[in-house]
Structure 1
């Protein structure tokens, strides 16, 4: 009798988890979106609360670092990312299951003028264009889960800031390119898809001017476009906090803080 009760309880818990509402988020951008942290220090998500979508075998996996995969020109975290901290916080506060689609590439630019070698760009022209692959991966995740895309978490701007410092790109061109990529995503997934920006930090030992221009452009875009937000702005303080992995990449303490803060912000700023 006790074994039967235990089995029924397991079935009940499983059925409740299966019935839980899912939310789907795309994490996109360049290397800090990929993640250069430490999986040993990243957040740990409870089973059946957070998932990662993998395109190569069309599966949902338990979300844990290293998040991402070397597929469709995108990369995997080496070895920690914002994904687990974001999903863990979001799931705990909302009681919803979180599905992460990782589509980021180290060194990728927003504007094609800033594209470097074969690092790629999110623009609609350039040598290695990333946008359509991100759309493909996200569309497959939507088909797999049966839920719409809730939002895009964007960590990108370092490549364009370096191009500004080299006088290859203007702040106006970058802002226009960022506006364009947001609209292109919304053309594919709907006007009410949230776009959530983690402001770009600094490159230690390099001029801050280009990075400040990127940060300002990111803020400007959120003031013009509906459902577009800066969800984290303190990346420029990471050197003082000792939260850098190297001269430009965020360590796992920083990535965890970004993930947790972004989840809390998104939950308290619903789409209008």
Structure 2
């Protein structure tokens, strides 16, 4: 009798997981989220994977955890809004793997202090920890990653502005990062890019170069898509929290729009 109860539980659990989809949110501080949890969307239809405890928790801000060199939202993020809209559109619940660190660079040349880099080498490489967390989440849920959502570029934009690296080097690093994700996960996981915004009060030379590189990679690589383009408008719209971070209203919009475009 006990054996049949266990089997029944596993069947119900697996059926429930069939109504869920696993996404990764990676990048730097605007992916972490620097908004306001009080203004974040509340949803009962999202989950986040936490490496600490190998557990699932409701996807409510502040999303994320300070573990594996990744960070928790301070205090609001785009991800509850993403999960809410995705459920409205598809009827499936999001399981999110937050894997972002403030100030992290895509290219090693742009790495600043201990803020980390997504490049294979550097003072604090982040890629291997991201793979570890994603693989843990896949084992926990029995789901394969449906897509990686990428919000990153301000650190490299500053390095380009300061002539410490070139736009071509950022573009090559981004393309290689996508290739590494797909190689390690064993399949051509879709890669979704939120274009890098501008920094309030700073000439957007570097930011424009990063956006052009992101758009170029999306045009050339299969299953790479720009899913949000209006971030450069945020400073003029007074939707910034500070000179570089998006306010909660902007984060909520990013989440909603991205959820309408991902598969």
Q: TM-score, normalised by structure 1?
A: 0.90
Secondary structure class of the residue paired with 1:28 = strand
> Which of residues 79, 83, 88 is equivalent to 1:83?
79
Count of residues in correspondence between the two structures? 253
> Which of residues 108, 120, 129 is equivalent to 1:124?
120
> Counterparts of 1:59-138 in structure 2 under 5 Å?
59-138=55-134
Offset of 1:19 from its aligned partner? 5.8
- 5+ residue gaps, structure 1, are 1-13, 268-272
Secondary structure class of the residue paired with 2:262 = helix
Question: Does the alignment pair 1:264 with 2:263?
Answer: no
Offset of 1:93 from its aligned partner? 1.0
The equivalent residue for 2:6 is none
The equivalent residue for 1:242 is 238
Maintained 8 Å contact 2:35/2:75: yes
> Which of residues 19, 22, 26 is equivalent to 1:21?
19
d(CA) in 1 for partners of 2:202, 2:51: 37
Deviations 1:26-58 (A, max 9, x none): 000000000000111111112xx2100000110
The equivalent residue for 2:213 is 217
d(CA) in 1 for partners of 2:40, 2:229: 21
d(CA) in 2 for partners of 1:122, 1:16: 33
Change (3 A) 1:17 1:78: farther
d(CA) in 1 for partners of 2:14, 2:50: 24
- 5+ residue gaps, structure 2, are 1-11
Offset of 1:191 from its aligned partner? 3.5
Secondary structure class of the residue paired with 1:240 = coil
The equivalent residue for 2:36 is 38
> Which of residues 112, 135, 139 is equivalent to 1:143?
139
Secondary structure class of the residue paired with 1:239 = coil
d(CA) in 2 for partners of 1:77, 1:23: 22
Question: Does the alignment pair 1:228 with 2:224?
Answer: yes
4+ long deviations beyond 3 Å: 14-17
Secondary structure class of the residue paired with 2:116 = coil
d(CA) in 2 for partners of 1:197, 1:132: 20
d(CA) in 2 for partners of 1:87, 1:245: 22
> Which of residues 165, 169, 172 is equivalent to 2:165?
169
CA RMSD in angstroms, aligned pairs only:
1.5
The equivalent residue for 1:9 is none
Deviations 1:107-136 (A, max 9, x none): 000000000011000000100000000000
Maintained 8 Å contact 1:114/1:159: yes
Maintained 8 Å contact 1:20/1:97: no
Secondary structure class of the residue paired with 2:94 = strand
